[in-house]
Amino acid sequence: MRTVPLLTASTLVLTAAPALAADTLTIVETVLDRPTVVTLGVQVLIGDDDDRDAAIELRYRAMGEAEWQVGAPLHRVRPEVVNLQVPQQFAGSVFDLRPDTTYELELRAVDPDGLDETWTVTATTRPVPGDPAAPHVIQVSDAGQLGDALGAAEPGDVIELADGTYGGTWSIDSSGTADDPIVLRGASTAGTILDGEGAGGNVIEVYGSHVHVERLTIRNANRAIRFQTAGAEGNVVRRVHIEDVNLGIGAREDQLDFYICDNTLNGPLAWPNVYSDDGGANANVDGIVVQGFGHVVCHNELVGWGDAIKTAQDGARAIDVYGNITRSAYDNAIELDGSAGNTRAFRNLLLNSYAPLSFQPIFGGPAYALRNVVVNVKDEQTKLHANSNTGETVGAVILHNTFVSPNRANQVLTTDTAHDFRLVNNLYVTRAEPENGETVLLGLPIDNAEIDYNGYWPDGQFDFDAAGDWPDFASMQAAGVFEAHGTLLTADIFASGYVAPTSYMPVVEEVDVSLSQSSFAIDAGAPLTGFGGFLGAAPDLGALEAGCAAPHYGLRPEGVDEVTPPPACGDSGGDTTDGETSDGETTEGPDTSGGPTSDGPTSGSDPTDGPDPSGGDSGPTTTATTGDGPTGGGSTDATANDGSTDSGATAGSDGSNDGCGCRAASRPPAVMLLALLAFARRRRR
């Protein structure tokens, strides 16, 4: 039990307070987010725990397997600072799973005030979308036949287009089923062309569910494809080439379980045209837009868009964005704006962007940015901004990314507060002489963030606004506010010898940012269970672990999909049933409880602040069916989240940088006070 300071006019007395009933965590319900092809998301709805010292650990295994894998501890959501109705909860995701596989998720909640409870739920990943179980092939070779086939389409129809150019616009009004989708497929992506002939609308409009659009070139209209029905489910865009349009793929609210993968989208904008050039005039020239829940956007190649890939619905959950290449983005490469939690951007290659990763805002989180390679950033690496209409950002989890930028290594500029965010194990590199001598310029109020185990080059000013402003890395680290375990790098960083560009304006093509074997980034990270393995004594900083195979970005060869998993690499820091590393030594590192809390467990807390992943007898297994879980202990049923939301807003970033917010690490209590003083000393920028 923590001690409570009582301040009188003459003395400061430390008194041990008795445990209150409201300090003990109660488990209300376990909710499963919509599954994707390779991830599962869970929410544990809770009550009480007023002193915020509880934690929930997670282990998982495929049904029938003996060995448990240790996942990332769940993230504690703070609804009191979220400008959207979200329940009190812990939430988190399990990554790198197999498609169409049932998993057991073991959850263990421990509260030093009197709770130690373990229970298990089951959840199944989605299969990769396939052909109809009972296909009916319809051969098409001209526009008239195409119109007739689409107008009469039924579940199981596979409409195969011969190579050629089909002029006009098209509508698919019917729905397939999960087992028997309607498939529109060209003979070849390059040879089968749907030409909109300059139409002011969409080349293809899809009104149904379970419709697949595959292996086509779509061009010459305002937009290529739009899914027009709110709540539509299970639609697919795969191996499509889009060009000569103002907008790529559009959506409507509350749509579910789309799979948009292995496409190329060439937009109308040219680098180095960026947001600040014209005040955001092209901010809504969007490549891929999704709204709703359960979507997968993977292995696409995009160039020339305002926002390349974006979520556009407040309260969105369970969306995966992975394996993509964005070659230029006038504003954001990946925009997770408006998402409530378990949205994930991982293993992407983001080149030539204004503000590549946007969290404007997040409604509680976790919203993950994991192992992305980001090169040539004009403005902000991670846009921890508020939205003027929907509030401040809460719950970004930014781990193991590589950022190479020409101006500053890490920059955020805003007047609004960002809450509960994590910057851990990232690599921040800029030019030898950064702008105004500032390696880091986080000009924002910081509330309860973990900023540690990151690497920086070169040395310079480290300005964290009201939380502290230091002339160099050594003085910043000595102050004890941030980066207790951070690393100042030398110029020997990348094996290729690549260095940061001195200007953002030249186009940067794909570059090799794998680490040099003599880089100080080797083995400098904190072991974080659930976010990939490592070789050596500890994880390397950044997206790419030295000695491991590089991820595949962009289009995959025909016939390759998630059924073939990415190669595993090294020790995950805790993938055994007893929570130990493979050599039997318990790993040490920062708090992995899912994020910092202002008064709960922090890095280096007493072990009683969180559960031992090995401990406790497992309670009974429950399936992902609707049910009300007990409070205060025992097993709990799991409710499958259908993706519904109370919010009717259809939002996202307006592209502006106004109203951005960020917050500070839960280190000394003085940091929280300093955050409140931010307005008093913030520079005029």
CATH number where 611 lies: 2.60.40.10
Domain for residue 229, yes or no? yes
Q: Are residues 117 and 225 in the same domain?
A: no
Residue pair 74/100 in contact (Cβ under 8 Å)? The answer is no
> For residues 316 and 338, what is the distance between their CA atoms, to the nearest angstrom?
7
Q: Are residues 115 and 176 in the same domain?
A: no
Domain for residue 625, yes or no? yes
Q: Are residues 95 and 139 in the same domain?
A: no
Domain for residue 635, yes or no? yes
Q: Are residues 123 and 135 in the same domain?
A: no
Q: Are residues 149 and 243 in the same domain?
A: yes
Q: Which parts of the chain register pLDDT below 70?
A: 1-21, 572-637, 642-685
pLDDT reported for residue 532: 86
Domain for residue 209, yes or no? yes
C-alpha distances in Å from residue 574, one per residue of 58, 430, 521, 571, 595: 11, 33, 21, 8, 18
Q: Are residues 588 and 608 in the same domain?
A: yes
Domain stop point among 620, 640, 660: 640
pLDDT reported for residue 573: 59
Per DSSP, the three-state class of 79 is helix
| Listed residue (38, 48, 53, 83) closest to 386, CA to CA | 83
Domain stop point among 256, 286, 304: 256
Domain stop point among 256, 276, 306: 256
Q: Are residues 138 and 244 in the same domain?
A: yes
Strand ranges inside 416-463, DSSP E: 418-419, 422-424, 427-429, 438-443, 446-447, 450-452, 455-457, 461-463
pLDDT reported for residue 588: 35
Domain for residue 453, yes or no? no
Domain for residue 227, yes or no? yes
Domain that holds residue 145: 130-256
Domain for residue 232, yes or no? yes
Residue pair 115/47 in contact (Cβ under 8 Å)? The answer is no
Domain for residue 70, yes or no? yes
Q: Are residues 142 and 120 in the same domain?
A: no
Q: Are residues 137 and 252 in the same domain?
A: yes
Q: Are residues 141 and 244 in the same domain?
A: yes
C-alpha distances in Å from residue 134, one per residue of 138, 183, 212: 13, 12, 15
pLDDT reported for residue 570: 79
pTM (2 decimals)? Answer: 0.85
Specify the DSSP class assigned to residue 613: T
Per DSSP, the three-state class of 349 is strand
Is the CA virtual torsion 482, 486, 490, 495 positive or negative?
negative
Q: Are residues 145 and 248 in the same domain?
A: yes
Phi-psi group of 669: left, alpha or beta (phi > 0 → left; psi -120 to 50 → alpha; rest → beta): alpha
pLDDT reported for residue 388: 83
Q: How many domains does the chain contain in total?
A: 2
